Structure 1
Amino acid sequence: MIRPAVASGASRPNIVMVMADDLEYGALSYFPAIDQQLVQQGASFERFFVSNSWCCPSRTTILRSQYVHSHGVLTNTAPEGGFDRFHTLGLEQSTIGTWMQQVGYRTALMGKFLNHYPGGTATQTYVPPGWHEWDVPVRNLYQEYGYRLNENGNLVDYGWGEQDYLSDVLAGKARDFINAGSEPFFLYLAPIAPHNPANPAVRNMDAFPWSQAPRTPSFNQADVSEEPEWLRSRPLISPEGIDEVDERYRRRLRAMLGVDDLVNSVITTLRDSGKLDNTYIFFTSDNGFHLGTHRLPQGKTTPFEEAIHVPLVVRGPGIEPGSKINEMTATVDLAPTFAALGGAAVPPFAEGRSLVPLLEGKHPSPWRRNVLVEFSRPANRSSAAQTPVPSYEALRTETHTYVRYVTGEIQLYDLTRDPYELHNLARFADPGLVLQLQERLSRMHSCSGAECLEADSAG
């Protein structure tokens, strides 16, 4: 196999990351460009997980390669989270944007940055360090129409015409950025879809007329008697509620067609400019989403697979088309991977692993055996109201999910026998297994910097 081109002088590769908002694992086959140009031409990571199944903490992990307990952006909203927390802590002074700039990359961030940017601590014209090109909504971003963009410090209002659709506007700006120079570039593209309200482009409003949310075994889960109180207290979803779930699912698919068009535009631009063969394209999501699973009509923030397991597909030089990578990986690994490909130094605070060896077809040992997921319930009770989950720490291993709530309640699932997490074994499991998982979780939850690389491979 040809090996990926790790950075060396003029041959340094371009890097594009497209990150959907709230896209669950398993949906990529619905989108022609993503499926044909990325999945079929790249490598799919089968076990890729988030560090937090909520937008702002997850995106901070991606920018900095730190778990939530290290970066301290706990929620989507101030004072304990959101852009204001990120900005006040000075975290923007060292991100993947600044790392790549320092080694000569042109950098761009287009689309959603962090929740509630620019918040109460910055102006609408504020551009954080690390980005040569900055095109980020500061108002009304989730509608995809009628929004305001901060374009490199200039505020531009967009209307409600078809030409104003945000994914299309981002596609045009990405095209201009790709074509603007000869030096290597790092492009972070963050479209809004399929986040609620999941507004599609007009051209896609009638797509998927008969689609239904997947009826997995966890859909509208019948027996929750062994689950924590927050889940036991939820009623079964009514027939009318299930109709709403299906309609939400259709809206999400329609909105994602705009992201599919964005991906197609990026690949076409790269091909036409002669840069495709020297560009890595990463496609992923900041967290998953519930669509009727475990009695949740919608939402995220839970430790269930539907919320923490997300897609990651990578196309680029030397990557075997249509290949699959089964090693456990996480969002904390993305920034070190971009740095390795571009020849950038990773700061000592980074807590993830470069995925380059996996892209090379290698199977490094030791490798990650533990993924840490952390969630803090916000003080603002209107935030995360879709899934009223107490604060927790969770460990996702190769065979189990173990969750420890602030309430003292425990969840434990044997994923080899119960992949849909229907049977909480906390009361029945071997005490030795529980103790081992407790110790592994505690070590991950307290790790810092390079210590996390030892903790994540511990058995």
Structure 2
Amino acid sequence: MLVLRCLVCVLLLSLLAAEPTGASRPPPPNIVVIMADDLDAGTLAHFPRITDDLVRQGASFDRFFTADPWCCPSRSSILRSQYVHSHSVWTNTAPEGGFARFHNLGLERSTIGTWMRDAGYRTGYMGKYLNHYPGPVEATYVPPGWDTWHVPVRRLYREYGYRLNSDGRLVDYGWGEHDHLADVLAGKAREFITAGGGPFFLFLAPVGPHLPANPPVRHAEAFAGATAPRTPSFDQEDVSREPAWLRELPRLGQAGVERADELYRARMRSMLGVDDLVGAVVDVLGEAGRLRDTYLFFTSDNGFHLGTHRLRQGKTTPFEEAIRVPLVVRGPGVPAGKTIEELSATVDLAPTIAELAGAALPPFAEGRSMTPLLRGEPTKGWRENVLVEFARPSNRKSAAQTPVTGYAALRTDRYTYVVYQTGEEQLYDLRADPYQLDNLAQSADPALLKDLRTRLEAMRSCSGAECLTADMLVPG
């Protein structure tokens, strides 16, 4: 009997050792997302705090793509981990898009904010939300899922002289140096992080470098003499094999080149304000002793053209300049200075954050968690296809912002394949033609085109978990 009791004791002790008590388990991590507005990939090296505190201390995704190269559809995809054809916020303005459509469809009832709050996180959203917010609702409206809310409701893009909805209270800001939106967000972020009670999830969405790209006064003279990158696609000479919308664009001319350079300098100055915001967040996390247990994500909603492919300025195209965006992640277990080359997309952000936080992911989510990539784990069965969608708005004023016809595009490891609503096609072999100057759609192997069409159709028709099968479809 004594031997039996001892054996039972040993068994119980071993079970207790295998099952740590709640007190011994590591606490859930804090998570901060900082999302720039219209920031193209490849410029982060110009910004010291982003470079020193994020890039050198974390992992950079080299091939990370937006679900739609336009603000509101992209942000809707980020908030819900859905492709545009699933959430149906097609444009920046009503009736096909904008905040009004997102709100009227009831999409706010389930977003990364509600998932994280349900998981026990203290949540905060600060900065730009969805285009034309607050639109049809009161300016004091705060969407579900957010405990703290500091979002401009008036004169958003000026970054001075705007009105902020601060937790349902309207506050006007002026034109003093301390009123710049990026600096105000930095102060609000400090208050949120140091408020106590955790874990917390903070989504910071500064306006920079979105035009008109007004920087903090202290950065107004930076980047003097800088010019927009003169890549091979800058002011593209031969567009004879391109779709009609591109063939109809004139060459830039001297005035167009000078304007591109002027906008480039303005955007870079504006990004210095965002860089200061990043530094402020890192500093307060360090001061509060929270930096080691916090994941920081830095990204953008879409990229931007400045003279490339004859676009004087803008986005919405299926070219790399518009669809490829930066993503840097720093946090527990993420190797410092690592570059991740696997294909990933903005629909993957919310599933990644949810997994890190232990939050439940709804069945409609269509992205995949990038945590295996962050941890350096084997990636067998990883994504092979990225879907990009764009719809041209019916609203004339909104449509005037872009010359691009609606399309669906497939980005693979090697190719970009595009089908426009007009029936026109583009195909680029990115290994041979990284700047996308040679459209092969009329001369490519028919078998290759058939394969790409099949993969694109699978992606643009998928829903929920089906997308995790469609995004792995490879040549048969």
When normalised by structure 2's length, the TM-score is 0.94
SS of 2:322 mapped into structure 1: helix
Quick one: distance in 1 between partners of 2:300 and 2:396? 25
Q: Aligned runs of 1:77-96 on 2, under 5 Å? A: 77-96=93-112
SS of 1:404 mapped into structure 2: strand
Question: Aligned residue for 2:80?
Answer: 64
Quick one: distance in 2 between partners of 1:212 and 1:298? 14
Question: Aligned residue for 1:4?
Answer: none
Say if 2:216 is the partner of 1:197. no
Quick one: distance in 1 between partners of 2:430 and 2:399? 27
Question: Aligned residue for 2:397?
Answer: 382
Structure 1: tracts of 5 or more residues without a match: 1-7
Question: Aligned residue for 1:362?
Answer: 377
Question: Aligned residue for 1:24?
Answer: 40
Quick one: distance in 2 between partners of 1:11 and 1:199? 40
Q: 1:62: how far off? A: 0.3
The one-letter amino acid of 1:166's match is L
Quick one: distance in 1 between partners of 2:173 and 2:26? 38
SS of 2:69 mapped into structure 1: coil
Quick one: distance in 1 between partners of 2:307 and 2:34? 26
The one-letter amino acid of 2:142's match is V
Say if 2:68 is the partner of 1:52. yes
2:122, 2:197 within 8 Å by CA — same for their partners in 1? no
Question: Aligned residue for 1:353?
Answer: 368
1:19, 1:189 within 8 Å by CA — same for their partners in 2? yes
Q: 1:384: how far off? A: 4.8
Q: Can you list the C-alpha shifts for 1:284-339, whole angstroms capped at 9, x where unaligned?
A: 00000001000001000000000000000000111111100010000000000010
1:301, 1:384 within 8 Å by CA — same for their partners in 2? no
Say if 2:156 is the partner of 1:113. no
Say if 2:129 is the partner of 1:98. no
Q: Can you list the C-alpha shifts for 1:424-459, whole angstroms capped at 9, x where unaligned?
A: 001100000000000000000000000000000111
2:348, 2:368 within 8 Å by CA — same for their partners in 1? yes
Quick one: distance in 1 between partners of 2:211 and 2:396? 18
SS of 2:257 mapped into structure 1: helix
Say if 2:248 is the partner of 1:208. no
Quick one: distance in 1 between partners of 2:205 and 2:460? 28
Q: Which one of the candidate residues 74, 79, 101 is aligned to 2:90?
A: 74
Q: 1:383: how far off? A: 1.4
Q: 1:380: how far off? A: 1.1
Q: Which one of the candidate residues 175, 188, 211 is aligned to 2:203?
A: 188
Question: Aligned residue for 1:3?
Answer: none
Task: Give structure 1 regions of 4+ aligned residues with deviation exceeding 2 angstroms.
Answer: 384-387
Say if 2:323 is the partner of 1:308. yes
1:199, 1:255 within 8 Å by CA — same for their partners in 2? yes
Quick one: distance in 1 between partners of 2:356 and 2:291? 15
The one-letter amino acid of 1:173's match is K
The one-letter amino acid of 1:49's match is F
Say if 2:29 is the partner of 1:13. yes
Quick one: distance in 1 between partners of 2:396 and 2:215? 29
Q: 1:365: how far off? A: 1.2
Q: Which one of the candidate residues 259, 266, 273 is aligned to 1:251?
A: 266
Paired positions, count: 451
Say if 2:182 is the partner of 1:167. yes
Q: 1:10: how far off? A: 5.4
Quick one: distance in 2 between partners of 1:241 and 1:363? 47
1:83, 1:115 within 8 Å by CA — same for their partners in 2? yes
Q: Which one of the candidate residues 398, 407, 410 is aligned to 2:425?
A: 410
Structure 2: tracts of 5 or more residues without a match: 1-23
Q: 1:283: how far off? A: 0.2
Quick one: distance in 2 between partners of 1:334 and 1:109? 16
